[in-house]
């Protein structure tokens, strides 16, 4: 699936003291992927690997970050070039044909079954009371690394907590804006042959604006408190 120039996505976080004044922060640092030293285990990336997680709309971004009833800062990410991703939000992926037809592909049935199982994995709710989700996310992290090794730029899938889609792009923080960031896979010659070094997200995205929003209890966007155009 190709995603084209000027497509917009959204990334949100709860407003705390570090981003209380949105006029005085660096949006590319505060709203971009976390530095690798602070990257926690996530659905498509283990601890220490930082990808760009965004949503197709604001409400999905709020829901993914559990910001119901809170004050949030949200950033608009605008794509600067076309990217190719794997779309796991579709209901079907591979048609093996009818068992009664000459072109029936039995192996294709296994492919379809695997993809459906994988979609269930990436859209499954996890227990929020469990702090470490390394076990829950192991399978999806392995598949994400495999797809990155094949030079795909990311994946999208249906949100497990909203009606919208979530996107993961295989790009990391920008060292210009985040000095303690460094490129995964950390300059190891062997890994560099197997996996491309992560590009900073600023190679592909501009931030159009950031704004402060009161999120309603149902996870929907409420009043816009402040907007800063970039």
How confident is the model at residue 215, as a pLDDT? 95
Query: What digits encode the pLDDT tens for the residues 46-81?
Result: 888 889 999 999 999 999 898 999 999 999 999 999
How confident is the model at residue 69, as a pLDDT? 94
How confident is the model at residue 7, as a pLDDT? 97
How confident is the model at residue 210, as a pLDDT? 97
Least Cα distance to 165 among 55, 30, 71, 84 occurs for 55
Q: Global pTM?
A: 0.84
Least Cα distance to 172 among 39, 73, 77 occurs for 39
Which pair of tokens denotes residue 27? 């949006």
Query: What digits encode the pLDDT tens for the residues 152-190?
Result: 999 998 887 888 999 999 999 988 887 777 666 555 555
Least Cα distance to 178 among 14, 74, 61, 39 occurs for 39
pLDDT at 149 over 70: yes
How confident is the model at residue 206, as a pLDDT? 97
CA–CA gap between residue 75 and residue 31 (Å, rounded): 7
Helix (H/G/I), strand (E/B), else coil: 190: helix
Across 48-52, 124-128, 187-191, 204-208, which has the greatest mean pLDDT?
204-208
How confident is the model at residue 183, as a pLDDT? 61
Cα→Cα distances 43→39, 69, 136, 141, 149, Å: 12, 24, 8, 7, 18
pLDDT at 128 over 60: no
How confident is the model at residue 92, as a pLDDT? 58
How confident is the model at residue 108, as a pLDDT? 65
Query: What digits encode the pLDDT tens for the residues 79-124?
Result: 999 999 998 887 655 666 666 777 777 666 666 677 777 677 666 6
Q: What is the mean pLDDT of residues 15-42?
A: 90
């Amino acid at each position: 699936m190709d995603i084209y120039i000027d497509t917009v996505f959204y990334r949100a976080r709860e407003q705390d003291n570090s981003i209380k004044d949105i006029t005085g922060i660096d949006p590319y640092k505060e709203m971009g992927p976390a530095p690798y030293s602070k990257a926690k285990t996530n659905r498509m990336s283990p601890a220490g690997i930082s990808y760009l997680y965004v949503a197709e709309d604001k409400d999905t971004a709020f829901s993914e970050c559990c910001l119901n009833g809170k004050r949030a800062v949200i950033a608009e990410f605008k794509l600067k070039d076309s990217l190719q991703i794997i779309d796991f939000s579709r209901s079907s992926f591979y048609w093996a044909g009818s068992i009664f037809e000459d072109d029936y592909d039995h192996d294709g049935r296994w492919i379809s079954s695997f993809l459906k199982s994988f979609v269930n994995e990436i859209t499954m709710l996890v227990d929020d009371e469990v702090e470490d989700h390394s076990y829950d996310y192991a399978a999806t992290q392995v598949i994400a690394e495999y797809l990155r090794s094949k030079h795909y730029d990311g994946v999208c899938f249906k949100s497990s907590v909203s009606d919208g889609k979530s996107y993961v792009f295989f790009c990391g923080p920008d060292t210009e804006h985040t000095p303690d960031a460094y490129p995964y896979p950390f300059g190891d010659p062997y890994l560099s042959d197997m996996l491309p070094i992560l590009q900073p997200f600023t190679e592909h995205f501009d931030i159009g604006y950031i704004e402060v929003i009161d999120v309603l209890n149902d996870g929907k966007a409420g009043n816009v408190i402040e907007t800063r155009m970039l």
